[in-house]
Amino acid sequence: MSTVDEIEADLLTIKAAAETLGVSEQTLRRWDKAGKLRAKRHPVNGYRLYHRDQVLELRTRIRSRPDVSP
């Protein structure tokens, strides 16, 4: 069974997730609202928390996408 520290180590705050993905915190809020990258809510304070594995997987997908020139 996982300890609280192990569980928390697997979660990222909105700030950490935004930095990892190279997007703004507001973008993550929009993605959460649209269902593109759902956040868990902290049971006490309601803060958004993102699973580290999901964020890293999304970062890989974003980086592998060919750049689109304007």
Give phi and psi for 35, each to the nearest 5: 85, 10
Confidence band for 10, pLDDT divided at 50, 70 and 90:
very high
Which residue range forms the structural domain that includes residue 16? 4-64
What confidence score (pLDDT) does residue 1 get? 44
Note whether residue 69 is domain-resident.
no
CATH for 30: 1.10.1660.10
Q: Is residue 70 part of a domain?
A: no
pLDDT for the residue numbered 9: 76
Single pTM value for the model: 0.79
Indicate whether 37 belongs to any domain. yes
pLDDT, tens digit, for every residue of 18-70? 999 999 999 999 999 999 999 999 999 999 999 999 999 999 998 887 764 44
Residues forming a β-bridge with 48? 41
Q: Look at residue 3 in the predicted model and tell me its pLDDT.
A: 59
* Residue 55 maps to a domain: yes
Number of domains present in the structure of the chain: 1
pLDDT score at 69 = 41
> What is the C-alpha to C-alpha distance for residues 51 and 27, in angstroms, rounded to an integer?
16
